[in-house]
Amino acid sequence: MLLTLLLAAATAHATDTTELTVVVDGLRNGDGVVHVAVWTSPDGFPGEGHRATVTRSVQAAAGRLTVTIPDVPTGPAAVSVLHDEDEDGEFATSLIGLPKEGVGISSTGDYKRLGPPRFQDAVQTLTAGAQTLTVKMMYLL
């Protein structure tokens, strides 16, 4: 009886997950790597990748590539993508702070804000079952 209660309590607190496929569209070349980060909280979004809920890095490919991430928690989430063309692991910016490498977020519309995006600019609701989000890359320089 006690074991049944413990199992029921553990199940009640289990987090539902989904398999998330991120389609990265508009990569200008196949140089370097593409870093994909999934955020379930605005804390650190989008620049502090170590604070993201899940991250994946894959070899870049010109045009479009697909990254599938299993076991992503359901609920509000945002995706950020960095095309790290020089593979230095850093977000390269110009002297005035413009990104030198490609960036993208999981926005439902065109991102038109000056400065870094906010979590609420990119948040989507993930539900149980496989889901796909498309991220359009932007290159400013």
SS (H, E, C) 93-138: ECCCCCECCEEEECCCCCCCCCCCCCHHHHCEEECCCCEEEEEECE
The answer to the question of residue 3 being in a domain is no
The answer to the question of residue 61 being in a domain is yes
* Model pLDDT for residues 73-130, shown as the tens digit of each residue: 999 999 999 999 999 999 899 999 889 999 999 986 666 667 788 999 999 999 999 9
Specify the pLDDT at position 97: 87
Separation between Cα atoms, residue 71 and residue 40, nearest integer Å: 13
The answer to the question of residue 1 being in a domain is no
The answer to the question of residue 6 being in a domain is no
Three-state secondary structure call for residue 5: helix
* Model pLDDT for residues 41-79, shown as the tens digit of each residue: 999 999 999 999 999 999 999 999 999 999 999 999 999
Specify the pLDDT at position 25: 97
Separation between Cα atoms, residue 23 and residue 21, nearest integer Å: 6
Mean pLDDT across the stretch 14-24?
92
Which residue has better confidence, 109 or 5?
Answer: 109
| Domain ranges, residue 65 | 16-136
The answer to the question of residue 108 being in a domain is yes
Tell whether the model's pLDDT for residue 19 goes beyond 70: yes
Backbone angles phi, psi at 71, to 5 degrees: 60, 45
CATH number at residue 71: 2.60.40
The answer to the question of residue 63 being in a domain is yes
Report the sign of the C-alpha dihedral through residues 130, 61, 50, 124, in that order: negative
The answer to the question of residue 4 being in a domain is no
Total number of domains constituting the chain: 1
The answer to the question of residue 42 being in a domain is yes
